[in-house]
A and B are shown apart, each in its own frame.
Chain A
Amino acid sequence: MRCRGHNRSGSEGVTSRRVNQDLPVIARFEVRYRNYLAPDGSIQRPLPSFASDSKLLIELYRSMVLLRLFDRKAVALQRTGRLGTYAVSLGQEAVSVGIASAMREEDVLLPSYRDNGALLWRGVKLEEILLFWGGDERGNQFSGPVHDFPFCVPVGSQAPHAAGVAYALKLRKEPRVAVCLFGDGATSKGDVYEAMNFAGVHKLPLVFVVANNQWAISVPLRQQTACETLAQKAIAAGFIGEQVDGSDVVAMRAAGEEAIAAARDGNGPRFIEAVTYRLGDHTTSDDAARYRPAEEVQAHWKEEPIARLRAYLVAQKMWSKVDEERLAADCHAHVEAAAERYLATLPRRPETIFDHLYAELPEVYAAQRRELAGEHDA
């Protein structure tokens, strides 16, 4: 059987030895694990109903393939000095694509810096994502849903925003849900605990999704937490947490659908721990070989989400070699065209750094703006 938590041999024994067995048990909690597609694409348990929609499955597949190609292009741009630091989704494409696909347009996404897949699904253009990582604030003025938040760089700090957003939705009795994504490292932050706690107290329409890719830069999960699962952290906040095979996009979508529907119906928050693996470096500034054994990475390549869904689609005769080639060519062209549009976007004039500072620029700063403009006009 697949190992779901990290190995903690003997820890249970230690705990039970310390606890007085005569005391009555007043509460028990459980954490469930969800998966549908095995790494070889075979079916583990009856698939959710949406899986009978082959068009939808192919759309999920296409988004993950597009994301992987986009990542490759972004890294190439970074390596040639045309993009700033960039974080790839390699190996974890199913997490953000799967979750975003379960959202309605009017729901609110609060992503971390690694959630390109979710933005893509929600209609953000590839060149806008490139602009952001290319150091241009216009990348955040994106064509996704207007309420969606930009990428969050300070780890975990979007979680309290998500609670605030969800509170607003509840206060106004809007049937909308906030979806907040972050990594396993973020679960160590007070921000995340505080947001979860509040969301539980107020039964907010909020779904927390942690992409547990096993590493926070060089720090492995077992140095981040002594918990067997991250999902169980929801228990302390008073709501359901479940663990999901985060490399199975069907499971991610199903978990997302269920949690979002429950939240929309007024049943309060949910927590989804997507167990996945970061196959790439943390970012283009990182060299994971310094701290991570190659064998570990190799082993996880066998579970990656794209090959898994492809295997299923092929087995179901929904997908052929010709389809694959056509898709690859289509995604390639899409990515290349976006990169060209990005590269052709000229920087703004320097003084535009004042343009969105306040609704109306106070005169003292208008003077600074002129100072900056004058200098570069001269």
Chain B
Amino acid sequence: MPEATLVEAVNLALARAMEDDPDVVMLGEDVGVNGGVFRATAGLQKRFGAERVLDTPLAELLISGLCVGMAAQGLKPVGEIQFMGFIYPCLDQLVNHASRLRNRTQGRLTCPMVLRTPHGAGIRAPEHHSESTEAMLAHIPGLRVVMPSSPERAYGLLLAAIRDPDPVVFLEPTRLYRAAKGEVEDDGQALPLDVAFVVRKGRDLTLICWGAMLKETMAAAEALSAEGIAAEVIDLATLKPYDEDTVLGSVAKTGRCVIVHEAARTGGFGAEIAATIAERRLSSLLAPVTRVSGYDTVVPMARLEQYYMPSVERIMTAARKVCQFS
């Protein structure tokens, strides 16, 4: 199978979706001639024309609102927001319209749109380019929030998101765009949404993460195994709705859980998972569910951002503590 980076996998999935379905259209700032500032849409305008790969004015609210209108007419719009820091003007459209068009009209109108955006810190980007506010999006009823952590899952999940009949926010970990490489078969096969991936088996401890944090979490799991701790690693992949069964099943087996996310701690998605475990698997817990997260600060700019993001060491320290708890 050919190797691809995560951003190349996104490009492959977009091309495949456009090829397969004439209703799929791309829109956003610089997505056309320039192929997107990260090249996620490179070559698509040449191949599919400027009507289906549309450079929009610089207006995020417009991009998300256009998607709602297009989707209601049966197109399958895939909007790109250049960085997650600029997704906030879209919230009005996501909260008040995209997520509830089906519900408001009792199924008469629907909103099969995808809004893609790079997500997270660690690329030494300017101010406002590094935030992780996935929990805010996951709080919106009626949306799906998906975050791939490998080229293979980026390809399969993006195809699934585009084919899904409801609105999906697709968060692409910027740090992995070029850093993550893997084999990707461009076979048009989607991966299931709403399903978590157990990427490493283990009996002593469950490590849960998503997006770019898979890298540090896997490294921690490897290092822990040298200390005799067998960690199971779950890549949540879809945050909304998230796969409770896989999480609870794993915790029932291991009795211990550490959740890793680079978003700030308070109100982060880790809190949601911890609450579910407390409600439904308290009796199988051998230690408190623990979070390793970003701090409750503004994501610092380049010089200090590495201290904000969970490190392999911080994950290992938390894992050891949880394992020694008595």
- Residues of A with Cβ closer than 8 Å to B? 84-85, 113, 133-137, 151, 153-156, 185-186, 188-191, 216-219, 223-225, 285-286, 290-291, 347-348, 350, 352-354, 357, 364-365, 368, 371-372, 375-376
Contact = CB atoms under 8 A, between A and B. Distances in A.
Interface stretch (B135-143, B251-259, B298-306): B298-306
Residue picked from B127, B296, B298, most chain A C-beta under 10 Å: B127
B127 A368 contact: no
Given A133-B126, A153-B128, A368 B296 contact: yes
Contacts of B124: 84, 135
B302 A134 contact: yes
B58 A185 contact: yes
A334 B126 CA distance: 25
A300 to B, nearest CB: 19
Contacts of A285: 37
B59 A153 contact: no
B58 A290 contact: no
A357 B297 contact: yes
Interface in B40-80: 55-59, 61-62
Interface of B: 29-30, 32-35, 37, 55-59, 61-62, 85-86, 89, 124-129, 265, 295-298, 300-305, 307-308, 313-314
Contacts of B34: 217-218, 290-291
B121 to A, nearest CB: 11
The 4 closest A-B pairs by CB, nearest first: A135-B302, A218-B34, A188-B57, A350-B307
B316 to A, nearest CB: 12
Nearest to A136: B303
Contact of B58 (A133, A136, A186, A365): A186
B58 A155 contact: yes
> Which of B297, B298, B308: most chain A CB closer than 10 A?
B297
B127 A153 contact: yes
B57 A224 contact: yes
B293 to A, nearest CB: 10
Given A185-B58, A348-B304, A368-B296, A217 B128 contact: no
A188 B59 contact: yes
Contact of A219 (B58, B128, B129): B58
B321 to A, nearest CB: 13
Contacts of A223: 55, 57
A225 B56 CA distance: 10
Main secondary structure of the interface of B (DSSP, over half): loop
A347 B305 CA distance: 11
Contact of B307 (A84, A85, A376): A376
Contact of B296 (A216, A224, A365, A375): A365
A189 B304 contact: no
A354 B29 contact: no
Given A136-B301, A154-B86, A353-B308, A216 B33 contact: no
Given A135-B124, A153-B126, A368 B301 contact: no
B30 A190 contact: no
A84 B125 contact: yes
B37 A217 contact: yes
Contacts of A354: 295, 297
Contacts of A113: 126
Nearest to B33: A291
B303 A134 contact: yes
A188 B127 CA distance: 22
A245 to B, nearest CB: 24
A353 B58 contact: no
A290 B33 CA distance: 8
B26 to A, nearest CB: 14
A310 to B, nearest CB: 33
A63 to B, nearest CB: 24
Contact of A218 (B55, B128, B308): B55
Given A190-B89, A219-B57, A225-B57, A353 B265 contact: no
A101 to B, nearest CB: 27
Nearest to B266: A364
Given A190-B61, A216-B58, A347-B304, A357 B298 contact: yes
Given A219-B57, A223-B55, A135 B303 contact: yes
B303 A218 contact: no
A375 B296 CA distance: 16
Contact of A353 (B56, B62, B128, B295): B295
Nearest to A373: B307
